[in-house]
Chains A and B, each alone.
Chain A
Amino acid sequence: MSTHVHTYDALVVGGGGAGLMAAVHLTRQPGLRTAVLSKLYPTRSHTGAAQGGISASLGNMEEEKDSWEWHAFDTVKGGDYLGDQDAIEIMCREAPEVVYDLEHMGLPFSRTDDGKIAQRRFGGHTQNYGESLVRRSCYAADRTGHMILQTLYQQSIKHGVRFFDEFQVVDLLIDDGECRGAVALELRTGDLHVFRSKALVFATGGYGRIWEITSNAITLTGDGLFVSARCGVPLEDMEFFQFHPTGIWKLGILITEGVRGEGGILRNSEGERFMERYAPSLKDLASRDVVSRAIYKEIRAGRGIDGKRYVHLDATHLGADVIEKKLPEIADFCRTYLGIDPVTDPMPVQPTAHYAMGGIPTDIQGAVLAMDGSVIRGLYAAGECACVSVHGANRLGANSLLDLVVFGRRAGMAMADHCEAAELLPVGDDPAGRARADLERLWATAGKDGEKAAEIRREMSELMMSNVSVFRTEELLIEAKQKLAELKERADRIAIDDPSRAFNLDLTEAWETQGMVALAQVITECALNRTESRGAHSREDFPDRDDENWLKHTLAVLRDGTVEIGYKPVSFTRFEPMERVY
């Protein structure tokens, strides 16, 4: 197995919104050598699947007032008071600036009649601290994420960023509490590459593929988290994973919250607008955790459509013009995959695993934090793989695109500063040794008898869907823990079919599967540990929020296959915890 060595000042791992935003800002520092590694071509990244918008209190809509403080309050409340308020203030304050920055880079936002950036309603975004809904989500039809990804890729090309496309990161080089680079597998050749760097940012996205029904791309396997955790980096708030209320039934493909933002209504088998019962004020636009639980409860009560596990999202009253102009992508999905037309038919939807609130803990500059709260020098994280934490226990819609551009930018700028002062640190004699051993072990199984990665993935994702999803109990979680321990053992005995070096998808999927099982174990352990209900973490055996004992972040460290748990205080600035009602 050939090994190559490269040296850069700054290394960006992941070519989605957060990674490219960091890269673009790194190039604004003259003389800095920056490279982006992506296991895909960057334009294939899942930022491109985000539909509805990016939140910023521009107040562009017909004199409808908005303020960053209201945005911050909504975000804190949406996160059920677990979000760090210093970070949330920064995000909401910087939101207008980054949205204008994107517009200046050429992002083709939809426009108001007077030519400004158009905005729409989104769940949980309100005026005057919860009084009424506000149009805060800036959008480009229902392909906002696609336009952000394209725009940032264009800018990266303009500024001469060096790309290593189809390079999959398989190890991180951390020694003495300092990051020295990463090891990547070149998919096209099967060679290993050591990338030495002064500063490295992980922007590797989420891990929705751990669940059976998910809106996430098949490539969202949590690689960055797994690689970090193996190096002793803690993971924060892993028990909080968002189920988006409206995935296409059985497929999980996202139907944007923008449908409800434009006036779409959820209905049960009796045709009832059931959200009026669960959230009398914001109704269908309550926060996502609230709506997903309501859908599950309706289904449990036998009011799923035709007794099945879905409800209807009804947009038929919006008219063809609104749907074709403002929601063309979802109209296309419905016609392609369901053979129905949202102009005339309601859409069958069910909650779908969508977004990780938890991740690699960072400070407000994106610098990664160790268990004791100290900074791991030279290592940064941004976007969905990171936990700043701005989303707390539940993310508001349109806040993820905002998170990744705000904190991608901050990480890029902090890395540029770091590179100016820092020296390139030495690496050992064989920095790729561990990665090579892992991969050669898998290669050596080719054609032999053993467990099949696809079967382990199927069992894991079904188990996580039934036991560790919208509603949880001690009994379900203990069962999941036991079964995951078995799956972990089996994952160690995976055998692959493909012996070849070039483009060995069989091998990379097996490696990803081993990583996902480990992350599923962390998630389950953290969910079992937190004996309260908060945001997306809903324990039926502990149905109330318990601020006295649990107003704190979880930190989990993987040590020799077991999960050790610690805590971190929540940062408060201006909003005291209140009862959360929508």
Chain B
Amino acid sequence: MRVKFKIYRYQPEVREEPYFDTFEFDAEPTDRILDGLNHIRWQLDGTLVLRRSCQHGICGSDAMRINGVNRLACKVLIGDVGARITIEPLMGFKVIKDLVVDMDDFFDQYRSVLPYMITEQPPPEAERLQSPAEREVYDDTTKCILCAACTTACPSFWSNRDFVGPAAIVQAHRFIFDSRDEGTDERLEVLGERDGVWRCRTIFNCTEACPRDIKITRAIGEVKKAIALKGA
């Protein structure tokens, strides 16, 4: 099929203002959007820049806006989008060049929720026991690949960049509901603050954007409830 890629460009060394470039070429409907972008880079214009690595949706490098929706370019087939494809960088982060955005704040917010196992008890010699039911409670949020598709789809984040954002809450959820972890109080304190979970207005954009199908809004709701119960 004949496709038309309209791509956001920002090349600050050459041109001050961002602009759009258009590329037309033949592609298979089963090609990934990323295949199309690679085709442009390798055949048509080597100056186009994006992040990419695994090419099958597990590394989280190539989150971007595809026809206005946050997706991973390697997990969307051209045939599923149609012949006219608009590609833009994630919204809410500073653009460094073309589709490459500054992820520093995103990873700082991730760090702020203490995203690691906190335990007081020394571990046993073998594994800590955890029943399949206890494991199931936080299974969904362990899938997160930190691609930032959720956070940059969130209107609350767009209006307030200090909001910790859905991705960081997902990462916190993964520990708060892990029966082995003992850091819940510290994490709930961070997330109970002004720029924590209460900035979430239950808009569900994050859940729709997640390429891993994590039920993010539900996870945030569970964290809100844990904070409320703790306060009660």
**Stretch of B51-59, B82-90, B150-158, B196-204 at the chain-chain interface:** B51-59
Whether A270 sits at the interface, judged by CB under 8 Å, is no
Whether B143 sits at the interface, judged by CB under 8 Å, is yes
Q: Within the assembled complex, what's the spacing in Å between the Cα atoms of A500 and B97?
A: 10
* Per-position binary interface string of chain B over residues 47-67, scored 1 when its CB falls under 8 Å from any chain A CB and 0 otherwise: 101111111111111000000
The answer to whether B130 touches A115 (Cβ under 8 A) is yes
Quick one: which of B12, B58, B77 contacts A48, CB cutoff 8 A? B58
Task: List the A residue with the shortest CB-CB distance to B39.
Answer: A454
Whether A5 sits at the interface, judged by CB under 8 Å, is no
Chain B CB count within 10 A is highest, among A158, A329, A454, A503, for A503
The answer to whether A500 touches B129 (Cβ under 8 A) is no
Whether A264 sits at the interface, judged by CB under 8 Å, is no
CB of A25, distance to nearest CB on chain B (Å): 16
- CB-defined contacts of A103 to chain B, threshold 8 Å: 123, 127-128
Whether B11 sits at the interface, judged by CB under 8 Å, is yes
- CB-defined contacts of B174 to chain A, threshold 8 Å: 108
Q: Within the assembled complex, what's the spacing in Å between the Cα atoms of A329 and B97?
A: 32
- CB-defined contacts of B123 to chain A, threshold 8 Å: 100, 103-104
Q: A46-B59, A143-B58 are in contact. List 13 more A-B contacts (CB 8 A).
A: A43-B145, A44-B54, A103-B127, A104-B127, A108-B135, A108-B138, A115-B132, A143-B143, A217-B53, A217-B55, A454-B42, A503-B49, A503-B98
Q: Within the assembled complex, what's the spacing in Å between the Cα atoms of A112 and B134?
A: 12
- CB-defined contacts of A329 to chain B, threshold 8 Å: 58
Chain B CB count within 10 A is highest, among A45, A48, A99, for A48
Closest 5 CB pairs between A and B? A497-B46, A106-B117, A115-B129, A454-B42, A154-B116
- B residues contacting A by CB (< 8 A) are 11-14, 30, 32, 41-43, 45-47, 49-61, 75, 77, 96-98, 100, 103, 107, 111, 115-117, 119, 123, 125-132, 134-135, 138-139, 142-143, 145-146, 174-175, 178, 180-181, 213
Quick one: which of A110, A217, A452, A505 contacts B54, CB cutoff 8 A? A217
Quick one: which of A40, A99, A115, A337 contacts B61, CB cutoff 8 A? A40
Q: Within the assembled complex, what's the spacing in Å between the Cα atoms of A162 and B116?
A: 16
The answer to whether A506 touches B59 (Cβ under 8 A) is no
Quick one: which of B55, B96, B103, B126 contacts A218, CB cutoff 8 A? B55
- CB-defined contacts of B175 to chain A, threshold 8 Å: 106
CB of A347, distance to nearest CB on chain B (Å): 14
Quick one: which of B52, B58, B96, B115 contacts A503, CB cutoff 8 A? B96
The answer to whether A41 touches B103 (Cβ under 8 A) is yes
Quick one: which of A49, A99, A336, A504 contacts B75, CB cutoff 8 A? A336
Task: List the B residue with the shortest CB-CB distance to A158.
Answer: B116
- CB-defined contacts of B96 to chain A, threshold 8 Å: 188, 502-503
- CB-defined contacts of A117 to chain B, threshold 8 Å: 127
Number of A-B residue pairs, CB cutoff 8 Å, is 155
Q: Within the assembled complex, what's the spacing in Å between the Cα atoms of A114 and B107?
A: 37
Q: Given A219-B53, A336-B75, A498-B46, is A49 in contact with B59 using a C-beta cutoff of 8 Å? A: yes
The answer to whether B127 touches A502 (Cβ under 8 A) is no
CB of A355, distance to nearest CB on chain B (Å): 15
Q: Given A104-B123, A105-B117, A143-B143, is A336 in contact with B97 using a C-beta cutoff of 8 Å? A: no
Task: List the A residue with the shortest CB-CB distance to B127.
Answer: A103
The answer to whether A500 touches B103 (Cβ under 8 A) is no
- CB-defined contacts of B11 to chain A, threshold 8 Å: 500
The answer to whether B129 touches A502 (Cβ under 8 A) is no
Q: Within the assembled complex, what's the spacing in Å between the Cα atoms of A537 and B58?
A: 30
The answer to whether B47 touches A506 (Cβ under 8 A) is yes
Whether A501 sits at the interface, judged by CB under 8 Å, is yes
Q: Pick 16 A–B contacts, CB within 8 A, sort by A.
A: A44-B53, A44-B54, A46-B59, A48-B59, A100-B126, A100-B127, A104-B119, A105-B117, A106-B117, A108-B135, A188-B96, A329-B58, A337-B30, A454-B41, A498-B47, A506-B47
Q: Within the assembled complex, what's the spacing in Å between the Cα atoms of A46 and B129?
A: 29
Q: Within the assembled complex, what's the spacing in Å between the Cα atoms of A124 and B178?
A: 34
Q: Within the assembled complex, what's the spacing in Å between the Cα atoms of A329 and B115?
A: 23
- CB-defined contacts of A253 to chain B, threshold 8 Å: 55-56
The answer to whether B58 touches A116 (Cβ under 8 A) is no
- CB-defined contacts of B100 to chain A, threshold 8 Å: 503
Q: Within the assembled complex, what's the spacing in Å between the Cα atoms of A492 and B139?
A: 49
Q: Within the assembled complex, what's the spacing in Å between the Cα atoms of A502 and B97?
A: 8
